[in-house]
Amino acid sequence: MLTHQPGDAQPSNFCVSQAVMAIAKLGGFLARKGDGDPRPTVLWRGWTVLQNATLLGSRLFPQICE
């Protein structure tokens, strides 16, 4: 599991709506002007992509994820 180390990163102003939009984009949401809000299916696809990427990263770099 990743742990926070003091001095690792600067605090960010990443709000929930930006996180949801980033996950939706991983699921294929294009975020065009007239698209509206992302639907549950595209969020689920994006969440799955994020989980798979996290699992791959933890297997490729186990020393970082201890």
pLDDT tens per residue, range 10-54: 667 779 999 999 999 999 999 999 999 999 999 999 999 999 999
pLDDT of res. 62: 85
| CA–CA dist 16, 38 (Å, integer) | 13
Pairwise pLDDT comparison (62 vs 45), residue with the higher score: 45
pLDDT band at 3 (very low <50, low <70, confident <90, very high): low
Q: What's the Rg (C-alpha) of the chain?
A: 15
Is the pTM value of this prediction over 0.85? no
pLDDT of residue 56: 93
